[in-house]
């Protein structure tokens, strides 16, 4: 199930969302250049999160990677998938929170995602990178604020064919979270050399839902439609 558009227009130009997409894309293009020069691994180990370093040597250098890793990706598909979700759902959360608060919300969701993933495997030496955790926070917020918003979704129907269906965000994002949860539980106790950071997704999603719920209680919204 692949969402590609929602029917929930924002009232303002989503400047922060566009800038985030641009920054992620520029960093990825820089990574592509480093692939050709053979310097990509050095870059990744310098700026991605290494859980063991964060736990055993929590100095400024390792703490900075919590933020730099949010703008790094491991492949074209990793980047495109993340940016697609950010483009579809980010504009409405930016619209609801306002630009300054949305920036803080996005970064806080990313930090929460890192905490969740590192807590699961604190002594891993595998680099953690990607915007997925922060974007998961956006998805959690969208589910809380706009559960009835209609989302156009591609659904496989067999033999390589896809069908377009329009369903509420509650089902699209609820399905996404359930998939992350059970996939994450399935990896517990399994030694891997890398892969999807499911608990970062779970942590970011829960944090995003909680943060926007608190903001709603405090009246910290520029707009709210449901």
3-state secondary structure of 151: strand
Is 223 strand, coil or helix?
Answer: coil
Q: What is the pLDDT of residues 84-109, one digit of tens each?
A: 999 999 999 999 999 999 999 999 99
Residue whose pair of structure tokens reads 């953690």 in the numeric block: 128
- Choose among 75, 64, 144: nearest CA to 111: 64
0.85 surpassed by pTM: yes
Q: Which H or E run contains 159? A: none
Q: Which domains does the chain have, with CATH numbers?
A: 2-186+197-217 (1.20.1540.10)
pLDDT at 225 over 50: no
Percent of the chain at pLDDT > 90 equals 80
Q: What confidence tens digit (pLDDT) does each residue in 35-53 have? A: 989 999 999 999 999 999 9
């Amino acid at each position: 199930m692949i969402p590609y558009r929602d029917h929930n227009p924002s009232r303002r130009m989503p400047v922060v969302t566009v800038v985030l997409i641009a920054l992620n894309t520029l960093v990825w293009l820089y990574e592509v250049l480093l692939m050709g020069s053979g310097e990509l691994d050095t870059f990744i180990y310098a700026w991605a999160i290494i859980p063991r370093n964060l736990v055993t040597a929590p100095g400024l250098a390792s703490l900075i990677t919590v933020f730099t890793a949010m703008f790094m990706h491991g492949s074209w598909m990793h980047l495109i998938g993340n940016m697609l979700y950010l483009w579809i759902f980010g504009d409405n959360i930016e619209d609801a929170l306002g630009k300054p608060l949305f920036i803080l919300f996005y970064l806080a969701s990313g930090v929460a995602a890192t905490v969740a993933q590192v807590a699961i495997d604190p002594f891993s030496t595998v680099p953690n990178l990607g915007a997925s955790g922060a974007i998961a926070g956006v998805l959690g917020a969208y589910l809380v604020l706009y559960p009835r918003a209609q989302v156009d979704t591609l659904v496989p129907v067999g033999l390589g064919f896809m069908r377009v269906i329009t369903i509420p965000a509650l089902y699209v994002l609820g399905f996404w979270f359930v998939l992350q949860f059970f996939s994450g539980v399935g990896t517990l106790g399994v030694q891997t050399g890398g892969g999807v950071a499911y608990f970062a997704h779970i942590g970011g999603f829960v944090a995003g839902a909680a943060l926007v719920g608190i903001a709603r209680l405090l009246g910290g919204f520029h707009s709210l439609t449901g």
